[in-house]
Amino acid sequence: MRLMMLGPPGAGKGTIAKKLIDKYAVPQLSTGDLLRAAVKEGTTLGLEAKKFMDAGELVPDKVVIGLIKERLAQRDCQKGFILDGFPRTLPQAEALAKITTLQAVINLDVSDEEVIVRLSGRRTCAKCGAIYHVRNIPPRTPGKCDKDGADLFQRDDDKEEAIRNRLNVYRRQTMPLIDHYRAAGILHDVDGAAGVDSVTAASVKIIETIK
Ligand code: AP5
């Protein structure tokens, strides 16, 4: 399976990708997670990327293309993968097409109002990356991960000003990918505003047509 999750920030790309990797046993390739790991490690790339990420801007194409190229070359990607947050510009899509061919793109459609509610309430596990929402998907114990008990944190780019900029950046730089992949005949629209179980079921239905 060679799948990509597309959608605005907070659409649920990571949440649904995590449900799908459990079912299909393929890796989730999230450029956001790869970049956050580089920031945490304090690498040169991470320090450079942090400035863009905190402001809600995209990290330069050359950097993320290099990261994903390296990740896709790893052995666990041979049986398939779910891309989450890449590509998000036309040059990134063109670079990806030179490495591999996507079978399907799932486009999660969610309103700006819902994005703001979701991102301002998102909490992430510092240890395993599990994603919660203080109201929609709360952990059993506030502030602690259900899976490993580690602390939950709020992302630096989930502040209102950065969220608004991320939405503008999405409209300007990422939305053109909707037409790009629709023209290629591989785009599938899914109502991302529905509950997690419904969105997962709709995504599974699409995957069953490409497997
Ligand atoms: P990235 O980490 O990719 O952020 P994003 O695209 O803005 O997406 P998010 O992770 O914020 O949201 P999501 O759609 O995964 O939603 P989630 O499942 O968490 O990128 C961060 C930054 O890194 C970028 O701004 C950029 O600087 C850089 N970057 C990354 N990739 C790049 C690239 N390719 N090129 C250049 N720069 C790049 O869900 C959100 C919340 O909603 C959670 O609380 C969740 O519990 C809840 N939720 C999810 N689904 C549902 C549902 N169905 N119903 C109710 N609540 C739900």
For the domain with range 2-26+79-210, which CATH number is right: 3.10.129.10, 3.40.50.720, 3.30.1360.30, 3.40.50.300? 3.40.50.300
Share of the chain above pLDDT 70, in %: 100
Backbone phi, then psi, for 199, in 5-degree steps?
-65, -40
pLDDT single digits (tens) 184-193: 999 999 999 9
Annotated catalytic, 36? no
- Find the residues whose C-beta lies inside 6 A of ligand 1: 7, 9-15, 31-32, 35, 52-53, 56-59, 64, 85-86, 88, 92, 118-119, 121-122, 131-133, 136-137, 157, 166, 195-196, 199
CA distances from 198 to 13, 190, 191, 205 (A): 14, 10, 9, 11
Residue among 132, 115, 135, 144 nearest 15 (CA): 132
- Span 108-125, average pLDDT: 94
Task: Kindly tell me the burial class for residue 37, based on how many C-beta atoms sit within 10 Å of its own C-beta (0-12, 13-18, 19 or more).
Answer: middle
Annotated catalytic, 13? yes
- Span 107-130, average pLDDT: 94
- Span 189-211, average pLDDT: 95
pLDDT at 157: 87
Residue among 108, 81, 177, 125 nearest 133 (CA): 125
- pLDDT at 211 exceeding the cut of 80: no
Average confidence score pLDDT of the chain: 95
Probe target for ligand 1 pocket from 28, 40, 58, with the most ligand atoms within 8 Å of CB = 58
pTM for the model stands at: 0.94
Ligand 1 atom at minimum distance from 32 CA: 2
- Span 155-163, average pLDDT: 86
Share of the chain above pLDDT 90, in %: 92
Q: Which residues contact 137 (CB under 8 A, 6 or more apart)?
A: 15, 131, 196
DSSP secondary structure letter of residue 18: H
- The single-letter code of the amino acid at 140 is R
Annotated catalytic, 166? yes
pLDDT at 160: 83
Where do the domains of the chain lie? 2-26+79-210
**Residue with the two structure tokens 């996507």:** 102
DSSP secondary structure letter of residue 77: G
Annotated catalytic, 127? no
pLDDT single digits (tens) 47-70: 999 999 988 999 999 999 999 999
- pLDDT at 129 exceeding the cut of 80: yes
- Span 88-112, average pLDDT: 97
Probe target for ligand 1 pocket from 29, 136, 169, with the most ligand atoms within 8 Å of CB = 136
For the chain, what is the radius of gyration of the CA atoms? 16
- Span 21-25, average pLDDT: 93
Answer yes or no: are the C-beta atoms of 3 and 82 closer than 8 Å. yes
Residue among 106, 105, 81, 103 nearest 28 (CA): 81
- pLDDT at 156 exceeding the cut of 90: no
Rounded Cα–Cα distance for residues 31 and 4 (Å): 12
- Span 10-14, average pLDDT: 96
Confidence of residue 159 (pLDDT cuts 50, 70, 90): confident
Residue among 18, 199, 205 nearest 108 (CA): 199
Q: In the structure encoding, which two tokens stand for residue 93, read together?
A: 């899509």
